[in-house]
Amino acid sequence: MQQSYTKNYLKIYLWQGVSLVLNFLSMFVVLPYLTSDPITYGIYSVCISFSIFLVYADLGFMGAGQKYAAEYFAKGDKEEEMKVIGFTNFILLVFLLLFSIGFFILSIQPELLVKGIKSAQQEYVASSLLLILAVFTPTTLLQRLLQMIFGIRMEDFIVQRTNIFGSIFKILSVLWFFREGQYDIVGYFLFTQIVNLLAALVSLIIARKRYDYDFRALFLAVCFNKDVFDKTKSLAFTSLFITISWILYYELDSIAIGKLLGANQVAVYAIGLTVLSFFRSILGILFSPFSVRFNHFIGNGDEEGLKSFYLQVVSILAPIIVFPIITIAILARPIVFSWVGPNYSESVIVIQFLVFCNIFAFVTYPTNFMLIAKERQRTLYFINTLLPFVFWTGIIFTINIWGVNSFAVFKLLAFVFSAFVLYKLMIDYLKLTFLDSVGKIFLPMFFPLLFLIFGSFLVRDYLPLEQSKINLVIVAVVMGGLIVISFVIQYFASEKWRQQMTKTLGLFKSN
């Protein structure tokens, strides 16, 4: 195993930057086309929300498997690494087939899923989208397999590069599927699935050549393995519980709103959910290499190295996460109006609540990585019981009063409760006092945050509210300018932050 991962981090974040730009383009170019028909877009959102369940089809074994595969890779044991990858993908394959059958059944009776289907055209859209999901479900197996192979080697950027080329084709395709007089949302979704499959196949070929990976041996390892099962089951069942918790907390919103409030309210909520999902995907990319490095430290028995690395990740990434979230929350109204128009004015407050769900991600992500790496399963059970309990209890009591807003309010409150718990666990593990942690993490952000908040409120009333691409670009440029200036202020005003960045780069090189 290589000793320095500096180049890997830089390559990962370079391609993450490109991916970030494309995600913005996807949101701000593609979504206005999709939202031009709110009812159909609501149906699309409900149907597509079911595709997220494919991420959880492994019942937690993929997460547990990646931990142990990364440890075996750190030790140079490729045979055991392949056994773990084969077994976990066997579990995933079994459940993907069950999901595929479920999608096919729903495609026959889509009204079982979506309330408010009123025409044959809307029924055709819902049925076709679900059928496409059923056919392309196996693509998930290839994607997750590649994530493990490249991820444990800290070379996620290779998969990212391939996916970026696919994303470019998907973005350009809206000019064909949503041209004047045509709204072909089914054709667009089918095309995106084909592109995803082709991108996965290209990455598979790259893995074969780059690592001389024996896919024949891996194919033979795709079976039930009792030894691997015994090793991974405890952590996997914890991961399964976490999976169920996150499904209850994160993935049922659109489905519940579609059944209880109708497709139109799904469309209102989906705008905010799109922003939340965007941040989730970016944060997942941002933190994924650190999860692997946590497991490398455990595999090598380097506890002090893990603690030092952990604190660097939290301190450096705090402003990177906080600054954009603050800006989007304050400028939510001009963002929504210039992006999707005044018909989605109700989405403004939804965005403001949902975007704050990630405000403490710089603590929650690495702390969860630490708990998993250290196999602190009881703590994981507690935290992941808290999230759905607070969320759904709040909705039950307030949905008749606040409607769709109750989902946004209690998603945020549930996150805040769990963030406080994880913050306490973090400072205890790192042996910091509360004041020490504030000084290391929050104090360096004080002056740039003052500027950012004041500046955002100052420009908010002067930004355009009419829907157009030019106005959206203006809003985006102003947001970007405020965020960049905030980082400049932080760099010059906080000596500690500069030192932390230098120390972090040094840590990457030494490990």
Residue type, 94: V
pLDDT value for 368: 86
Percentage of the residues of the chain whose pLDDT score is greater than 70: 83
Radius of gyration from C-alpha coordinates of the chain = 23
Query: For the whole model, what pTM was predicted?
Result: 0.66
When pLDDT is cut at 50, 70 and 90, the band that residue 422 belongs to is very high
The count of other CB atoms within 10 Å of the CB of residue 446 is 11
Q: pLDDT of 97-136, one tens digit each?
A: 888 888 888 888 777 766 666 677 777 878 888 888 888 8
Residue keyed to tokens 């630490």: 370
CA torsion through residues 237, 369, 82, 300, sign: negative
Take residue 86 and report the two structure tokens written for it.
Answer: 């084969």
How much is the average pLDDT of 385-401?
89
Take residue 131 and report the two structure tokens written for it.
Answer: 């059928």
When pLDDT is cut at 50, 70 and 90, the band that residue 484 belongs to is very high
- The domain spans of the chain are 1-250, 252-511
Q: pLDDT of 367-379, one tens digit each?
A: 988 887 777 778 8
d(CA 32, CA 70): 41
Residues 6+ apart with CB under 8 A from 2: none
pLDDT value for 34: 65
pLDDT value for 1: 47
Q: Is the pLDDT of residue 44 over 80?
A: no
Q: Which conformational region is residue 223 in: left (phi greater than 0), alpha (psi within -120 to 50 degrees), or beta?
A: beta
Residue type, 231: K
Of 284, 319, 7, nearest in space to 163 by CA: 284
Percentage of the residues of the chain whose pLDDT score is greater than 90: 15
Q: pLDDT of 452-467, one tens digit each?
A: 999 999 999 899 988 8
- Cβ atoms of 207 and 166 within 8 Å: the answer is no
Measure the CA angle with vertex 441, ends 438 and 443; round to 5°: 65
- Cβ atoms of 432 and 307 within 8 Å: the answer is no
Q: Is the pLDDT of residue 511 over 50?
A: no
Q: pLDDT of 172-208, one tens digit each?
A: 887 787 777 777 778 888 898 899 899 989 988 888 8
Q: DSSP code of 178?
A: T
Q: Is the pLDDT of residue 139 over 80?
A: yes
Residue type, 148: M
When pLDDT is cut at 50, 70 and 90, the band that residue 156 belongs to is confident
- Cβ atoms of 117 and 123 within 8 Å: the answer is yes
Report the residue count for the chain.
Answer: 511
